[in-house]
Chain A
Amino acid sequence: MRAILVLFPCTIGLACAHLPLLSPLPAEDAHGIATRCRQAFPVQPWRATHTIFASLPFGQNGAVVGVTAVGSGGLHAVLLSPEGICLFDASQASGAADLTVHRAVSPFDRPGFATSLISDVGHAYLPPAGEPIAIGSYATGETVCRWSQAGETTDVVLRADGPRAVRTYRDVRLTRDIDLLGTAANGFFPAVELRVPGAGGYQLDMRLVDHE
């Protein structure tokens, strides 16, 4: 029995020790597929309001309203309580690595929160830079565009009706698993569900309220 217990996590570890394999697709399809993959993200500039339900460890659930603006100047994200109180306000200039936190009310002032939030917004709503490094299909048959930059790999998963998922890996570890739900309008999906796996992981269920 003990051998089985040891073997099981090893097997899982081995199975996850590489990125999902992509089977090549005909090169002549690549341009059209990449265009469809980019439809996973809104065309900039844009502003949007979402409700966000956060499922955190130990049942620490919460709900806020998120307001996001993205344009040539960069990204600006604000979190409001249902009562309209600004809980968090941060921006990141285009091309800049650093964030400017204009306001962070406890518990949104904890170390790493701002970086994590902006990263969540970026992965869910901003297209990866440059061209895909690979276009192919998973073993399940889903078509995939793959981007890679600075040790991070992003797969946009296409199904017959368009983009349906965005998965991000740090090296070979899945760091964000995002489902795009409903029929998109100008790259805005009615619902986006983002999961961060692992210990301390969480889930954000984002519902589109308004966009412009």
Chain B
Amino acid sequence: MRIRIAFALGCLLLAAPPARGAEPAWYQDWNSIRRAAAGIKTIEASFVQTRTLKILSHPLVSRGIMAYRRPNELRWEYRSPLQTLLVVRAGNLRRLIKHGGVWVADASAKLEAMKIVLGEINLWLDGNFSSSRTFRPELRPAQPGQPARVELHPVDPSLGKIISRIIITFAERPGTVNAIDILEEGEGVTHITFEDAQFDRAIPDEQFEPPR
């Protein structure tokens, strides 16, 4: 389930560098966030994920690409160090791992708990945090030196033992985020930033289908 949460958040709003001069008021309340997210039809971006661990002197760095097409199609692909692929289309989710040059099914995609989070994805894609049954959202306004963000707190205590909090930091461009931080109980933070985002370009259907 935790795995899907990260994915879901990645597809959520989808990052972009701040657009200079943009009006930041789009994230002033849940309704304005939802309206802004609805204004984005497709997104393509690469991402960098860093994971800190006490036993490592350097963070573990993972890289990948993502693509999203409204209303509910998603590709989330890690290219290093592991090669894994998640595609979501028409409510169907496929998770694959590349091994020996071949994509094979990932058994973790069958986890029952994951379905709970999948039910949340559309809400998040719509910027509709306030309807979530899995996370209790808190909107944090921008402060000097700290952009506006949403903090998601697990409703289910058992999920809270895995993820204590998720922070989604908004960008200035309406409907986009700069970064996602996943905080776990105890040590460790996973930080995801997005790069080279492209908006509202046509994305071929194949991007949201498992490799043949």
Binding site for B on A (CB under 8 A): 47, 49, 51, 53, 56, 59-65, 67, 69, 76, 78, 80-86, 102-103, 105-106, 205, 207, 209-210, 212
Contact = CB atoms under 8 A, between A and B. Distances in A.
B107 A61 contact: yes
Contact of A80 (B7, B60, B84, B186): B60
Contacts of B105: 59, 61
A61 B108 CA distance: 8
A84 B190 contact: yes
A47 B84 contact: no
B2 A81 contact: yes
A106 B57 CA distance: 28
Contact of B97 (A62, A102, A105, A207): A62
Nearest to A48: B56
Interface in B161-211: 162-163, 182, 184, 186, 188, 190
A78 to B, nearest CB: 6
Given A83-B3, A85-B6, A61 B51 contact: no
Contacts of A210: 58
A84 B57 contact: no
B188 A86 contact: yes
Given A61-B105, A67-B60, A84-B188, 16 more contacts: A47-B56, A47-B57, A53-B97, A53-B99, A59-B105, A62-B107, A82-B84, A83-B3, A83-B49, A84-B49, A85-B6, A85-B184, A86-B188, A103-B186, A205-B99, A212-B57
B55 A76 contact: yes
Given A61-B105, A65-B82, A105-B162, A85 B55 contact: no
A142 to B, nearest CB: 26
B99 A82 contact: no
B82 A51 contact: yes
Contacts of A103: 186
B80 to A, nearest CB: 9
Interface residues of B, number: 32
Given A69-B55, A81-B2, A83-B49, A62 B99 contact: no
A210 B59 CA distance: 11
B174 to A, nearest CB: 27
B62 interface: yes
16 contacts: A47-B56, A53-B99, A56-B107, A60-B107, A62-B107, A63-B82, A76-B55, A80-B51, A83-B190, A84-B49, A84-B62, A84-B188, A85-B190, A103-B186, A205-B99, A212-B57
Contacts of B51: 80, 84
Interface in B34-69: 49, 51, 53, 55-58, 60, 62
A207 to B, nearest CB: 8
B22 interface: no
Nearest to B188: A86
A67 B7 CA distance: 22
Contacts of A86: 184, 186, 188
A51 to B, nearest CB: 5
B21 interface: no
A181 to B, nearest CB: 13
B138 interface: no
A61 B186 contact: no
B78 interface: yes
Contacts of B81: 49, 51, 65, 207, 209
A106 to B, nearest CB: 8
B156 interface: no
Contact of A67 (B3, B53, B97): B53
Contacts of B162: 85, 105
A85 B190 CA distance: 8
Tell which of A69, A86, A210 has the most Cβ of chain B within 10 Å. Answer: A86
Contacts of B6: 81, 83-85
A78 B55 contact: yes
